[in-house]
Each structure stands twice: as C-alpha cells, then as structure tokens.
C-alpha cells in the first residue's frame, strides 16, 4: 500500500511544518509523530483538541500513521455541542498540547500531550499503511436541524482529493503554503496541513489570520495562499494602503479561495491591485473537493471551475432528471460521485441514506454550467443553512438554544448578507416579557456557552410575533422585508 505521506516515509529533511518559530522537517515529523503513533495504536478513535498549533498537526499525523480515526474538536465549542460530539464519536483518548485546559467532558478521557519536545526520538519504522477504505477522520458538520453529524472520511478520499488538487494546481514539493485557517475543518486541516505533507512540501501556519502575516510569508518564500472569502475580503480592503501586501500577492504562484462564494467585487479589487486573479475551488465536508479553476486554466470570476480528476458531477432538476445543457442558464442541484466522497454519517444510517440519490450525493448546492464546463454556484436549496466566514451553520441548532433562554418566547434564525462574512447570523426574538427583553450580548453569550463561538448571533431583532403561515410554520422569507 503506498503511504499517505511519502516524504515522511522517506524521512526527507526539507521543512514540513512551521507554526511561529516552531518548525519540523518531514524527517523530524516522522520521528515525533511516529513515536506518538505507537502510543495511540489500537485505540478505536482519538479526539484532537484542534488549536491552531504545531501540536495539533503532530497529533493528527500521529493518529493517521497509527491508522486510528481522528475527531478534530474546535476548542471554542460550547458545552452542548462538545458533549454531543464526544458522546457520538466516543474517542478513547484526547490529544492536546501540554497546558491546554480541557472542558470536563474531555478531561475524563486519557490524555496524551502532543508537545514535540516531550516525545523521545524514536527511529522505529513507521506503522504499516492501513487500507485505503479505513476511516481517516470524522469531521462534524451542521445540518438544517438537529446537532452536527460526524462525516466519516476514508483515507482514499483524502488521497484522491489531494492528488486531484495537485493535478489541478500543479502543486508540488516546491510549494510553500501559507494560511491562517482553523484546524478542525476540511479546508484548514486536510487541504492546508495534510496537503503540503502529502506533496512533500511545507506549510507555514499564521496561528491567526492577518494581512500582515500573509504579506510577511508571501514575501519570504511562501508560494501559495489558501483562505475563505472573508480573508480575501479583508485583503482587498487592506490593499489600498498596503503596497507591501500588494507586492507579496503579486509574487505568489497561486491564490486559492474556497468554503463559500468569493464576491466578484473582491476578486476584481485584488486583480486590479496585484495583477493576480484568485482561483476558486468548491468542496464540502462530505465530498472534500469537487471542482476548481485549474492553474493552467482561465481564472474566471464567479465560477468554481471544472470537475477535478476522478469526480463525476451532474446537475439535476427539481423532478430528479439530469440536466444536459451547458448554457450558463439552466439551474440544477449539484450531485456527485467519486473516490473523494465520505462513507457515512457516524451512527446515522438514516441521514446517510437520505443524502444519496441512486448512488449520487445530493449537495443541496444549486448551479449552472458554462458551455466549456465551468460550474457557477447560484444558490442553496436549504434556506436554513447559513455560511458565515466560511463556516456552515444550521439555523435550527441555534433556534433550539435560544428557545431555552428564559427571556425568549419565540426565536427564528436567518442569514443576512454581510460584506465581510458573506452572511451574518441574525436572531429574531419574541421576548417572554416585552418590556424586559434579554440583551443581544446576553443571547450571544447564551449561544456561545452551548455551541461553537462562530454560531453566536451577530445581530438580534425584537418582534411582537413571528410571521407564520396557516399551518403555524414560521415564514422566514417574510422576516427580511
């Protein structure tokens, strides 16, 4: 079986990971992650407390070397969501950096520190490569209702997607990636950390995204930038007053945006200031990457490019019939097949079955195709899914938490257009007592204590009653009037 990380197996001495002033070569990573893997081996699953640190990358690689499925955990997740994730995935161990304070639900598990200095050098051979069908990661993702579902991603999905991106982007061991994405989702972790490791190249993680960090790294050897549209929006805003940032972007080999639609205005502002066009790729936790503008293709604003190697993509109309037109006009739901897909939602055979249509995965994303095959995403089927800052957020999950607040009688959550975040979370509240409504800060804190911090409402609007139809169902479209 060929290894997931060939450069680790070859113990290449070139740089692999850089977080601030902490770096590891592929050979050093093989040593520390290999030693940690020996302590993890045999566990059914491990949770990784996914702070944006070197320890997180080491912990994830160690578990992958050991063939133990990894559950990355957002360290800013509130009590209810975290309890759900831990109960649902039942990890045997938790990997965290020394000193990280873990919440009670994780603190009861056996803990292994990921601090590289603590791990005795060990040059024992790396464990045998597990089967390509073996689960590699379980990544939690929100749906329209209910708690997040654990997406089981097999090793073949990870290798298929990373190799298809290498083909599309001419991504090699010579590339040095820079990003400041979180390490508990597909974008930052699988593409942003495992991608460079699989190529034998390197990644410099910013710890926290900043335009200064991007400028610094792209002007000192980094070749590629990954980001969500909010990050490119902040770059577009900063460019006018920051010639060093403009120069750094001009020198990059590839600027890639994903996780949500990049507004054409930001694309054009960056192109005007740097002469460089950001390319977009389209993915999903369940499918990893599906389409991209190719490095050798035409970077067209507002499109997510063409299907990646090995990915079958079709558009289906509302009666379930595949659309054959490539006319930039006929809208259909994107459905997918390919080796990049997940195997199941953990413990949710019902949801897994409902996600497929005759073997094709239903994405819920609506698109058209240009005559040359470029895909343009035009919307989403579910109005109860919000994309804010590149995070997918289910309205129902937030509504349930809001309704538990004693000052809330009725609640509805929607996404409202936001220049920076794409969409911002808005809570519409009917207070229990009209003369003493709970404050916006109190409601945001209430949500933040139970769910991930990015699920807090940014705006709260107070109403006397929610608009409902004859059946009593809330008419969300009537809210934004």
At its nearest, how many Å lie between ligand AMP and the CB of residue 139? 8
Nearer to ligand MCA, 26 or 281 (CB): 281
Residues contacting ligand MCA: total by CB under 6 A: 24
Per CB under 6 A, the list member of 18, 202, 340, 363 interacting with ligand AMP is 363
Q: Which residue is nearest to ligand MCA (CB)?
A: 389
Question: C-alpha distances in angstroms, 436 versus 256, 408, 439?
Answer: 47, 10, 9
At its nearest, how many Å lie between ligand AMP and the CB of residue 292? 9
At its nearest, how many Å lie between ligand AMP and the CB of residue 371? 20
Tell me if 377 contacts ligand AMP by CB under 6 A. Answer: yes
Return the closest-CA partner of residue 330 out of 283, 363, 376, 385: 376
Assess contact for 364 and 380: CB atoms under 8 A: yes
Tell me if 285 contacts ligand AMP by CB under 6 A. Answer: yes
Nearer to ligand AMP, 365 or 399 (CB): 365
The 15-54 site mask, x for binding ligand AMP (CB under 6 A), equals ----------------------------------------
The 367-396 site mask, x for binding ligand MCA (CB under 6 A), equals ----------------------xxx-----
Residues numbered 291 to 320 that lie near ligand AMP (CB under 6 A) are 304
Rg of the chain over Cα atoms, rounded to whole angstroms, equals: 22
Nearer to ligand AMP, 258 or 415 (CB): 258
Per CB under 6 A, the list member of 40, 136, 284, 413 interacting with ligand AMP is 284
Output DSSP code: residue 413.
Answer: E
**CB neighbours of residue 9 within 10 Å:** 16
Tell me if 260 contacts ligand AMP by CB under 6 A. Answer: yes
Tell me if 342 contacts ligand AMP by CB under 6 A. Answer: no
What is the C-alpha to C-alpha distance for residues 314 and 117, in angstroms, rounded to an integer? 49
What is the C-alpha to C-alpha distance for residues 25 and 206, in angstroms, rounded to an integer? 18
Assess contact for 474 and 466: CB atoms under 8 A: yes
Which region holds residue 313: left if phi is over 0, alpha if psi is between -120 and 50, else beta?
beta
**Which tokens go with 184?**
């508990």
Tell me if 444 contacts ligand MCA by CB under 6 A. Answer: yes
Decide which of ligand AMP, ligand MCA, none touches 204; Cβ closer than 5 to 8 Å per partner kind: none
Per DSSP bridges, beta strands 360-369 and 332-337 are: antiparallel
Helix or strand or coil: residue 382?
Answer: coil
Please give the distance of CA 299 from its chain centroid, rounded to a whole number.
23
At its nearest, how many Å lie between ligand AMP and the CB of residue 20? 27
Helix or strand or coil: residue 66?
Answer: helix
Tell me if 333 contacts ligand AMP by CB under 6 A. Answer: no
Half-sphere exposure of 305 (CA within 13 A, CB side): 28
Tell me if 211 contacts ligand AMP by CB under 6 A. Answer: no
Residues forming contacts to ligand AMP in the complex (CB under 6 A) are: 141, 186, 258-261, 280-285, 304, 363, 365, 377, 380, 387, 392
């Amino acid at each position: 079986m060929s290894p997931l990380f060939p450069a680790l197996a070859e113990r290449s001495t070139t740089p692999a990971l850089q977080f601030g002033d902490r770096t590891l070569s592929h050979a050093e990573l093989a040593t520390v992650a290999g030693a940690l893997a020996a302590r993890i081996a045999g566990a059914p699953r491990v949770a990784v407390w996914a702070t944006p640190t070197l320890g997180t990358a080491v912990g994830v690689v160690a578990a992958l070397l050991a063939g133990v499925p990894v559950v990355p955990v957002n360290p800013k997740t509130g009590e209810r969501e975290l309890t759900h994730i831990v109960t649902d995935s039942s990890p045997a161990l938790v990997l965290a950096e020394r000193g990280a304070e873990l919440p009670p639900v994780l603190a009861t598990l056996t803990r292994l520190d990921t601090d590289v200095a603590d791990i005795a050098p060990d040059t024992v051979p790396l464990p045998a490569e597990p089967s390509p069908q073996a689960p590699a990661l379980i990544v939690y993702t929100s749906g329209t209702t209910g708690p997040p579902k654990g997406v089981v991603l097999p090793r073949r999905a990870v290798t298929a997607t990373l190799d298809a991106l290498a083909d599309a982007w001419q991504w090699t061991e010579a590339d040095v990636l820079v990003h400041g994405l979180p390490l508990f989702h597909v974008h930052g972790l699988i593409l942003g950390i495992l991608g460079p490791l699989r190529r034998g190249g390197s990644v410099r993680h910013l710890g926290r995204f900043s335009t200064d960090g991007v400028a610094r790294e792209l002007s000192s050897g980094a070749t590629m930038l990954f980001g969500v549209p909010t990050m490119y929006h902040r770059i577009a805003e900063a460019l006018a007053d920051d010639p060093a940032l403009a120069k750094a972007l001009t020198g990059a080999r590839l600027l890639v945006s994903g996780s949500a639609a990049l507004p054409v205005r930001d694309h054009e502002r960056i192109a005007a200031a740097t002469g460089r066009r950001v390319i977009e790729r389209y993915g999903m936790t369940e499918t990893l990457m599906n389409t991209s503008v190719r490095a050798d293709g035409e970077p067209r604003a507002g499109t997510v490019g063409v299907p990646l190697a090995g990915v079958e993509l079709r558009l289906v109309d509302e009666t379930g019939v595949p659309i054959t037109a490539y006319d930039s006009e006929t809208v259909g739901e994107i459905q997918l097949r390919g080796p990049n897909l997940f195997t199941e939602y953990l413990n949710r055979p019902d949801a897994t079955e409902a996600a497929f249509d005759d073997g094709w995965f239903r994405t819920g994303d609506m698109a058209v195709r240009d005559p040359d095959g470029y895909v343009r995403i035009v919307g989403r089927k579910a109005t109860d899914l919000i994309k804010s800052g590149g995070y997918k957020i289910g309205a129902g999950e937030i509504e349930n938490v809001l309704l538990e607040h004693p000052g809330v009688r009725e609640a509805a959550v929607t996404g409202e257009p936001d220049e920076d975040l794409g969409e911002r979370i808005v809570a519409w509240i009917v207070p229990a007592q009209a003369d003493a409504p709970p404050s916006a800060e109190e409601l945001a804190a209430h949500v933040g204590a139970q769910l991930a911090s990015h699920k807090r409402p940014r705006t709260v609007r107070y109403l006397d009653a929610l608009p409902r139809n004859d059946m009593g169902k809330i008419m969300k479209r009537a809210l934004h009037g």
